[in-house]
């Protein structure tokens, strides 16, 4: 693997893994009060556009990375927009240990 590929792989790993702690925290606490829905809406839109760009360019690293980031960002966005009762229901369905 060449140096440029290593940089791309590391960037993808950082991008994808950056959403995991926030998603798990939401599942555990059911709290999104400190999150900005506008920021997550913009971020989610950006990942969707990057995915579309990757598809248009035929670049699988862009497609896969941004599609996974889109899913995480969209989950967080949806959870910030849901009322408390529905948020708890979604979190319970995904993580029923509480």
- Joined together, the tokens standing for residue 95 give 């993580």
Q: How confident is the model at residue 65 (pLDDT cuts 50, 70, 90)?
A: very high
Q: Say whether pLDDT at 35 is over 80.
A: yes
CA 49 from centre of chain: 14
Q: How confident is the model at residue 70 (pLDDT cuts 50, 70, 90)?
A: very high
| Full-model pTM | 0.88
Q: How confident is the model at residue 95 (pLDDT cuts 50, 70, 90)?
A: confident
Q: Provide the pLDDT for residue 69.
A: 96
Round to whole Å and give the CA distance between 18 and 93. 23
Q: Provide the pLDDT for residue 98.
A: 52
Helix (H, G, I), strand (E, B) or coil at 9: helix
């Amino acid at each position: 693997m060449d140096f440029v590929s290593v940089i791309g792989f590391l960037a993808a790993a950082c991008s994808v893994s950056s959403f995991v702690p926030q998603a798990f925290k939401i599942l555990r606490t059911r709290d999104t009060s400190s999150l900005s829905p506008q920021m997550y809406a913009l971020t989610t839109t950006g990942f969707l556009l990057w995915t579309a760009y990757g598809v248009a360019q035929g670049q699988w690293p862009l497609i896969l990375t941004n599609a996974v980031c889109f899913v995480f960002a969209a989950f967080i966005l949806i959870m910030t927009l849901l009322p408390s009762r529905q948020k708890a229901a979604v979190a319970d369905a995904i993580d029923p240990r509480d």
